[in-house]
Chain A
Amino acid sequence: MSEAAETAGFLHQWKGAGFKRFIGPLLRPLGLLALCIVLSFLNENFFTLKNIISVLRQSTILVVVAVGMTVVILTAGIDLSVGGVMALVGCLTSQLIINGTPIVPAIACGLALGTLFGLLNGVLVRIFGLPPFVATYGMMWIANGLAMILMQGKIIFGLPDNFLWLGSGYLSIIPIPVILAAVVAVAFHFYLKKTVSGQEIYALGANREAARYSGIKITKTLLLVYSLSGFTAAIAGIIMTARLDAAQEGMGEPFMLQAIAAAVMGGSSLMGGEGGIPGTIIGALILTLVVNGLNLMGAPSMVHPLVTGAVILTAVFFDVVTRKWSD
């Protein structure tokens, strides 16, 4: 190929990918920054260290669920059961602790249950061939139903202090849940970017047929992916219970849509193969700040679903539009 043709080809590629490669990734941090500036006008204490830490702490639960959701979305799947799993795991763990189980085994049981639910999602999706949103939607109702049975309509509170530490403790000035969320996020980021298994998830999402021909074990990968989402939902459920010092059926409900919104706002495409953890964290922070801002303006909490819905529709719309542009 002549040099001129090579340059022309390069330029052509550049034109198409330019938006995606340079402006696209910058858009989200800039959006986050703009939101922060708007909020600092609404509340003069916004840019204090104390408030920033408090915002980070508020976002932790969402970050953890959204990280697992991102992995599922990368495979062009979806996990609608996370809210139900969060509630069920929170209820089970606190129920065990109240009934005298030591904290560590209780948490281990919770994590195992969450992972099991994720695994079942994977089995329904991959082995039985149900569309992901049907399988996980069904599992959501089962998880919610089991939480109801477990709680018998009651609320559990008054959990021991060393369990509550997970949700409200501090390591010098950094809240423990922030550390937990950071560990989960970093671990998942490295897993996705630096391990073969993680790269296989991207490959599978981008083109399932090609992935199959290149020898990726699709069944194993999908089971793993849904199990991971169940696992992170379980962690989020435990952090939530520890932070509220309460467990109740239905408490995870808003997080299902928020987690999808965070992932999509962060640039993960619902068509799979695109996106990642850093974007999702920015998405989760934006969503937390929006809710934070609404509270600052004195809007009732009943408005939250309306705003979350509008945000997710807009985010998905932009995802669709930008993908059309760059094609």
Chain B
Amino acid sequence: MKNKVQLRVVSIPPVIWIVLALFVLYSFFAPGFFSAGNLWNIGVQAAPLLVLAIGATIVILTEGIDLSCGIVLGFAGVGFALLAQRGFPIWLAMLGGILLAGVCGLVNGVMVACLHLPPFIATLGMASVITGAGLVSTEGMSIAVRDDVLEFVSNGAPLGIKMPILIALLIFGVVLFLMRFTAFGRNIYALGGNSEALRLSGANLTAAQIATYTVAGLLAGIAGIIVASRTASGHITAGLGWDFDAIAATIIGGTSFEEGKGGVAYTILGVILIAVLRNGLNVAGVPNMYQFALIGTVVLGAIIFDILVRRLSGAEESR
């Protein structure tokens, strides 16, 4: 037990060091980074990514992966925008978008749990199918939505905290609760750690796996609605590349692909790292086209750094 606590303490620092290093770097190269306005801004930008990354984390905990979540995010926005355009009440349209994403997650879950497709290929194929569906249904255009509710969802601050941050924190709390105190969470950890024991204990493996992917889909949908509200439009590529960010945040946070180690609580650190990285580059005036390669490199670098630190600490422990 003591060992476990130690391991947790050891596994957190890498991310924090990198975030601190970024803070120092940006204080030199990105004047204005530390203004209160900008720090709030980081929070607002990080919010949809946090929601998405929570979904990515629970899937990865089951030793699966969801490479479709970025496209599903855009698809939810498209579904929402198309419904709103056809005169549905705005809240209903939002719900429709989220449910649409949930269905995508459900299909992913069925393909993985019932048809036994490898998760990465099932979700990659799904992403391709949805991309086609989204392009065809919008003819590749961005669908604009106008409504005061969007302004509230993207910019309102009912408790002095901007809505996107509030939504993300609320979801973070709910999922944290589900993971700690319900069968849903226990099953997810067991699926990754020891699915055989889970099966013997009488739990329904298939249902648990499908539930995980469905929740990940719903979360991608919620993130999609937040993004669509901010841009006041739905576009299928709105979340292009976000799946990488979400997975990266999960891994940087310390959730591993094997044995159900890690958890949602750590993912928030990874999300902060990526949000700080992106924001700082923007504030420092690095053109958008440079950011893809730079962020890809930093993220892979962070993952490698993390693995190396873990290996070193692992070697120490076994000594």
Contacts and interface: CB of A to CB of B under 8 A. Distances in A.
A306 B128 contact: yes
Which of A80, A145, A260 has most chain B Cβ within 10 Å? A145
Interface in B101-132: 111, 115-118, 120-122, 124-132
Nearest to B251: A134
B7 interface: no
Contacts of A98: none
Interface string A301-327: 011111111101100110010000000
B293 A270 contact: no
A177 B159 CA distance: 64
Which of B127, B128, B136, B291 has most chain A Cβ within 10 Å? B128
B117 A317 contact: yes
A46 interface: no
Q: Which 10 A-B pairs have the closest CB atoms?
A: A306-B132, A145-B293, A309-B128, A145-B292, A309-B129, A141-B296, A302-B135, A305-B132, A142-B296, A313-B125
A312 B125 contact: yes
A152 interface: yes
A305 B131 contact: yes
Contacts of A310: 125, 129
Contacts of B289: 145, 148-149, 152-153
Interface string A123-145: 01000111101110111011011
Nearest to B137: A302
Interface string B118-158: 10111011111111110110011000000000000000000
Which of B294, B296, B307 has most chain A Cβ within 10 Å? B296
Contacts of B120: 78, 133
B257 interface: yes
B244 interface: yes
A304 B121 CA distance: 17
B141 to A, nearest CB: 11
A158 interface: no
Interface of A: 78, 80, 124, 128-131, 133-135, 137-139, 141-142, 144-146, 148-149, 152-153, 257, 260, 264, 270, 300, 302-310, 312-313, 316-317, 320
Interface string B267-293: 000000000000000000000011111
Contacts of B136: 300, 302-303, 306
Contacts of A307: 132
Contacts of A149: 289-290, 293
A320 B129 contact: no
Contacts of A316: 117-118, 121-122, 125
Nearest to A146: B293
Given A149-B293, A313-B111, A302 B140 contact: yes
Contacts of A139: 296, 300
Given A133-B67, A138-B299, A142-B297, A257 B128 contact: yes
A124 B304 CA distance: 8
A306 B293 contact: no
Contacts of B296: 138-139, 141-142, 145
B300 A145 contact: no
A138 B129 contact: no
Contacts of A306: 128-129, 131-133, 136
Nearest to A138: B300
Contacts of B292: 141-142, 144-145, 148
A211 B134 CA distance: 45
Nearest to A80: B124
B32 interface: no
B241 interface: yes
Given A148-B293, A320-B116, A270 B125 contact: no
B127 A124 contact: no
Contacts of B308: 128
A270 B120 CA distance: 11
A82 to B, nearest CB: 13
A145 B290 contact: yes
Contact of A141 (B111, B125, B132, B244): B244
B118 A305 contact: no
A130 B129 contact: no
Contacts of B124: 80, 257, 260, 312
Nearest to A131: B257
Contacts of A260: 121, 124
B127 A309 contact: yes
Nearest to A142: B296
Contacts of A129: 307
Contacts of A264: 121
A294 B139 CA distance: 17
A144 B289 CA distance: 10
19 contacts: A78-B120, A131-B257, A134-B247, A137-B244, A138-B248, A139-B296, A144-B293, A145-B292, A257-B124, A260-B124, A302-B139, A303-B136, A305-B135, A306-B129, A306-B131, A313-B111, A313-B121, A313-B122, A317-B115
A260 B257 CA distance: 22
A313 B297 contact: no
A240 B180 CA distance: 52
A131 B257 CA distance: 8
A134 B120 CA distance: 10
